[in-house]
Amino acid sequence: MAWLEYLLPLIFLAPLGAAALVAITLRDLQSVGLRSPHTGEPIREIAQAHRDRLERARVTFFLDATLAPTLTLTPLVYGMGRMLFADEQSWLEWSLYGVVSTLLAVVFCFLILRDVQRVRRLTHSLACELAVGQALDHLIRPAAEPYFVFHDFPADSYSIDNVLVTPQGVFVIQTMARDFPLDLEGKPRKTVAVEAERLRFPDRHEREMLRKVRMATVWLRQWLTRHANLSVSVNGILVLPGWNIDDETEHLGDTRDVRVVDGFDLAAQLGIATDEAIDDAQRQHLVETLNARYQRFDRKPSTR
């Protein structure tokens, strides 16, 4: 029964299969979300969308790192089993096992490098958004200044990092994290030039983030007009933590639809010390309208 020569070596793969099963099972432990002990609903924190993406990236890295040695050794272990049960040894067959193991090792090396870079990028993004979120939370002084902050506010098909309601208006605040390129002396280059339609970083140009802030600002303004029956000022703010901002659009003054700031003194950069534009009744109505949507989406399982 020649087919037994190929079937019996599968016995040696049982330990590797068990190790792979344990790794896949432990994946669920990496993605346990926090839920309220009172209502059982997911607890949302500052930058929750970034936290969820980072958690998924870590789960992927965990799986790739744990499955890599198991799957890479599988062809060789099977081949050693074939040596015990085969009447004749084929060097061509052994070469095939070696080639498959080598290819699997190369593939997993690329996957793990990709995962590491993604985790590093998302960790940096999370740190930047947390810094901005904490700065916004410091503005909340209910006894003196009625400010309200909604983190990860749900739009139609995406989330807005922060929506801030103040007596001076409503602010859409998006955070973007970018690494600093190095000059020839190894020093970071931290200056970004802001144009009307793009950001000029030392090593690249970007337009997408300004478009996203504009889109979120227009969406929120129209949504508030429709659901709150109020025409209020909605201002777009893009925060680049740690960067020196060279704003070439300052001459446009209040006509700028998006302002780019470094977020170091966010209260001053938002201009919240100016005269009130929204009275208490309007502001309360805005907060109730925003909170109704926020709570409605917050009760659903996170799919973002």
Look at residue 258 and tell me whether its pLDDT is greater than 80. Answer: yes
The residue to which tokens 């096992």 are assigned: 97
Asked which of 36-45, 110-119, 193-202, 262-271 is least confident by mean pLDDT, the reply is 36-45
Q: For 189, list phi and psi in degrees, rounded to 5.
A: -100, 110
- Token couple for 97: 């096992």
Cα 26–chain centre separation: 23
Average pLDDT over residues 55-84: 85
CA distances to 163, 167, 269, 281 from 273, rounded to whole Å, are 18, 9, 10, 20
CA distances to 21, 82, 91, 100, 205 from 8, rounded to whole Å, are 21, 8, 20, 20, 59
Q: Find the largest Cα–Cα distance for the chain.
A: 91
pLDDT of residue 21: 82
Average pLDDT over residues 6-25: 76
Q: Do you know the residue count of the chain?
A: 304
Mean pLDDT of the chain: 80
- pTM for the model: 0.63
Strands (E), the chain: 148-154, 159-166, 169-175, 191-194, 199-200, 205-206, 234-239, 244-247, 258-261
